[in-house]
Chains A and B, each alone.
Chain A
Amino acid sequence: MVLLILSLLFAPAARAEELAAGLSKDDIKISSSFTGTDLVLFGAIENEGGASIGIVQDRDVVVVVRGPGTAVTVRRKERLGPIWINRDQRRFVGVPGFYFVASTKPLAQIADAATLDRYHLGLAHLDFKLPAGAVMAPVDYRNAIVRAKSRGDLYNEQPGGVQFLSGSLFRTTIALPSNLPSGTYDVNVYLFRKHEIVTAFGTPLRIGKTGVERFLFKFANDLPWVYGLLAVLLAALAGWVSALLFRQRQ
């Protein structure tokens, strides 16, 4: 019996299953006219063993795209007299600016909660870290982040978003919204067999901002004195020109 199990474990290892995937574009430049784009990920399972024994039924693929982590502050409004006022606040670090997960089935049917938690698969299994020494935040604050990011299409969970085109070829479409944060994203593809991860594949996706607004953002933050002075001079010049135009019309 032990031998049988061992042989089952090691036999496929000789021709281990592997994943390969590619993005329709792996370097996206956001310019001032960027209104969002669709990215297509194609993938294939190599050395797929056991197709003959009908193993296709227990085969699942999960695609995760994570943007770079940032710090966010969550504030909760409470009623104070007649007005609503921010009372409590919690700061989280390592909150992905973008998160997308697509799978062949709803995630709960693919793996147990412990596995989903370990690999941060699904909006309910993301972990937002608190800064060192901070007290535990109630789960409501965590959910508020997911809600806010989902409203801006920055967080997205698509059960059934991964489709198999043929026996081992699959694809998924990743919708990137216009307010995409820049940075290097991690794209990970996981292959599940019987609710366990058997192999994974990772590739980076670079999102960079270009154009005038990128330049202005950096300018405003790097040289605030010069930026402020130029804004004032530009405004004064516009006022002066309009005064000149107005005088000519009189």
Chain B
Amino acid sequence: MELYLPIAEMPVNIWFMVGLGAAVGFLSGMFGVGGGFILTPFLMFLGVPPAVAVATQSTQIVASSTSGVLTHFRNGTVDFKMGAVLLVGGFFGSIAGIAVFNALKAAGQIDLFIALSYVIFLGAIGGLMFWESLGALRHGGSKVGALRREPGAHTWIHGLPLKMRFHRSKLYISAIPPVFLGFLIGLLSVIMGVGGGFIMVPAMIYFLRMPTAVVIGTSLFQITFVAAFTTMLHAITNQTVDAVLALLLIVGGVIGVQFGMRLGARLRNEQMRFALAVLVLVICVRLGMDLVLPPADPYSVVGENTE
């Protein structure tokens, strides 16, 4: 059944798009990742303009992270104070991001910039995960969690001013590192259409030294609001949010994530991480090839909406 996407301005098959949302939701549930960094490149491969793919992906993240944060809220694993501080940075990061995004769009470089950002991030994360899971598979055990939190350890972070007390995280640290982290995530959210959990979660554990129990819930809390704000910024400045496409992906994602979580519970952690690393690297190579190989037509034509 064909459906015409109003903003992406292309006909798509409804079931294919719901299926894509479900497949990525499945991976997302299985690996416990947001899925934005897999879905956005796939939308671009299908011919959705990168600016529309990124903006629409933000809308999809609102749905998936709302669902996640509500579960964590019930379990009491959200540090609201830390979330609020991260959010301050996130809002400013999004505003800075949209300024960069629109300047690049006007210069005709936004598609390249989005693709390049993906190649760099997917390459770095996929490479690290590949290396780590390969080692873990060889040694028959997981090395994840080897870097445990040492409550007494003081780093340069503790020397920064503007200290705040975060009761839920049992931390007394400067507000500057979380605001900076939030800013970075806001920037990534606007430009890449990702939640940023894959950077935020490790940063919270190793950099801010938050207890692992509240890390996921707090990052989801921040992602929900930053993604909502990002969606608004894209909708207002570029009109690139395709609500129909977002809805199809959300419906598929909601179903896929349930099955993914069930299968994920049965598989070995190292095997899953290895499989995800391979997938991430394949997407990275595919995106990179489009940048490096001579284009079929070096000229591109962009129409302006006169209506």
* Interface residues, chain A, with chain B CB atoms under 8 Å away: 32-35, 68, 70-79, 82-86, 89, 95, 97, 140-141, 144-145, 147-149, 178-179, 182, 212-214, 216-218, 220-221, 224-225, 227-232, 234-236, 238-243, 245-247, 249
Contact = CB atoms under 8 A, between A and B. Distances in A.
Contacts of A217: 6-7, 307
Contact of B108 (A89, A235, A246): A89
B65 A213 contact: no
A216 B6 contact: yes
B301 A214 contact: no
A239 B63 CA distance: 4
Interface residues of B, number: 60
A220 B297 contact: no
B25 to A, nearest CB: 10
Looking at chain B's contact residues, is the secondary structure mostly helix, strand, loop, or mixed? Answer: helix
Contact of B9 (A82, A179, A221, A231): A179
Contacts of B4: 32-34, 178, 213
B59 A235 contact: yes
Contact of A236 (B62, B116, B258, B304): B62
Contact of A227 (B71, B241, B291, B303): B241
A-B complex: 4 closest residue pairs judged by Cβ atoms? A228-B235, A239-B66, A144-B299, A213-B6
A74 B299 contact: yes
B64 A239 contact: yes
B297 A144 contact: yes
B228 interface: yes
A140 B239 contact: no
B299 A141 contact: yes
A144 to B, nearest CB: 3
Contacts of B67: 238-240, 242-243, 246
B100 interface: no
A239 B62 contact: yes
Contact of A232 (B6, B231, B307): B231
Contact of B254 (A75, A140, A238): A238
A75 B307 contact: no
Contact of A221 (B239, B243, B304): B239
A217 B232 CA distance: 16
Interface in B240-282: 241, 243-244, 246-247, 250-251, 254, 257-258
A148 B297 contact: yes
Nearest to B72: A243
B196 to A, nearest CB: 17
B294 interface: yes
A141 B224 CA distance: 44
A224 B236 contact: yes
Contacts of B228: 232, 235-236
A148 B299 contact: yes
Given A179-B10, A220-B6, A72 B63 contact: no
B70 A83 contact: no
Contact of A231 (B109, B112, B231, B304): B231
Nearest to A81: B292
Contact of B241 (A32, A182, A228, A243): A228
A219 to B, nearest CB: 9
